[in-house]
Structure 1
């Protein structure tokens, strides 16, 4: 089942994703003054007790001299056959190194790390890593335009696009991959973990928005 965030939900999500706090870390070495190339590992966000949440991967972000940015993601252990929302998270403006949340970020004690609980660590959405079309926060949950994991839970993504926020913050962003089929039903549904706390009353399954992987310069 596919879900697309309505315009009102996007507004709510944008306010929810407001960043707070930062972690300082050394930046990767930029190979030239024209091309920035940054490689990060992606590690699991949720506790090991969360079913079907054990995943891993890697990402590479390249800022190009033509004003575009190229993002590559290679991940495995994801919910097979399902689309996975992916974003570049951070703080648009002065260089700020953010961080990734871990199981301890579960402040409400429900057993899951949600988007609102993760946002203080990795910041707001700077770019949506869609396969086609818009790459802004407005496409945060346009699941029909995100990469789909294969039957083995492996996902490969590569796209070069123009997004000023992504380009300006390529060396400080966090890559976040979402989507966990908690109950193993083969789809994102309300039976798995209920409704997404991101937008109460939206009917969007928590499974579709749940962060599964995160990685970036501060990690």
Structure 2
């Protein structure tokens, strides 16, 4: 049973799988930047799961600001997430001048009917930065669920953090923001439930990891 934290083995497995991303061409729109030294990019966060996936009908917005002195401010606001649970969030993409291919959608669901982590990686690339609320922001914190923002009782989540040394990002307009985690059976935890057709499944990253904890629910950014 899994609530808010993961063992190092599970986190390591996620990192190893999610850093394997495919790059492709794309283009990005951006806001009117307040000054030549600030690049500000705002995107909608859209559900990427098929309608038949319970708990996948969420929405949100995100703003990524490249600030002077190499700092990066990320804001995420989301509605309709699994309530009272932490949601792993990351900047995904390709480190360097190459751009990712945007967000996957319901059509990318496999035979299991769910868009999994590995279904999405070829579109949005690997983890560049873990959007934790405190501490480390490298891919090593991919599943440090005790340090991610938690949705409230209504499924609303707000996150903002200014990163002084963001890991692996090239520019604010070359990333996707991905929000993970769906409590399919609504029992208030990320855990296996043999009686539920979705919660009974393992993550695409390994048989010992619940699908609930790693499944991507929202995506937004370049080419979206």
Could you tell me the TM-score, scaled by structure 1's length? Answer: 0.92
CA contact (8 A) 1:56 1:76 kept: yes
Match of 1:194 in 2: 201
Give, in whole Å, the separation in 2 of the partners of 1:71 and 1:194. Answer: 32
CA contact (8 A) 1:67 1:162 kept: yes
The structural deviation recorded for 1:189 is: 1.0
User: Does 2:95 match 1:92?
Assistant: yes
Decide which of 16, 23, 26 is 1:24's aligned counterpart.
Answer: 26
Cα RMSD after superposing both structures:
1.8
The structural deviation recorded for 1:58 is: 0.1
Match of 1:134 in 2: 136
User: Does 2:57 match 1:54?
Assistant: yes
Give, in whole Å, the separation in 1 of the partners of 2:49 and 2:25. Answer: 20
- SS of the equivalent of 2:90 reads strand
The structural deviation recorded for 1:30 is: 6.2
Question: How many aligned positions are there?
Answer: 216
Which runs of 5 or more residues in structure 1 are unaligned?
A: none
- SS of the equivalent of 1:190 reads coil
Q: Deviations over 1:57-95 (max 9, x none)?
A: 000001110211000000000000000000000000114
Decide which of 102, 107, 113 is 1:104's aligned counterpart.
Answer: 107
* More deviation, 120-129/94-103: 94-103
Decide which of 147, 150, 171 is 2:149's aligned counterpart.
Answer: 147
- SS of the equivalent of 1:66 reads helix
Q: Deviations over 1:109-158 (max 9, x none)?
A: 10111101100000000100000000010000000000000000000000
Taking a change above 3 Å as real, the CA distance of residues 16 and 150 of structure 1, as seen in their structure-2 partners, is closer
CA contact (8 A) 1:81 1:153 kept: yes
User: Does 2:83 match 1:80?
Assistant: yes
Taking a change above 3 Å as real, the CA distance of residues 29 and 79 of structure 1, as seen in their structure-2 partners, is closer
Match of 2:174 in 1: 172
Decide which of 123, 126, 131 is 2:125's aligned counterpart.
Answer: 123
- SS of the equivalent of 2:219 reads strand
Q: Deviations over 1:17-70 (max 9, x none)?
A: 311142422442562331110000000010010011100000000111021100
Match of 1:13 in 2: 15
CA contact (8 A) 2:62 2:74 kept: yes
Could you tell me the TM-score, scaled by structure 2's length? Answer: 0.90
Give, in whole Å, the separation in 2 of the partners of 1:184 and 1:94. Answer: 41
Give, in whole Å, the separation in 2 of the partners of 1:185 and 1:8. Answer: 22
- SS of the equivalent of 1:121 reads helix
CA contact (8 A) 2:87 2:150 kept: yes
Which runs of 5 or more residues in structure 2 are unaligned?
A: 194-198
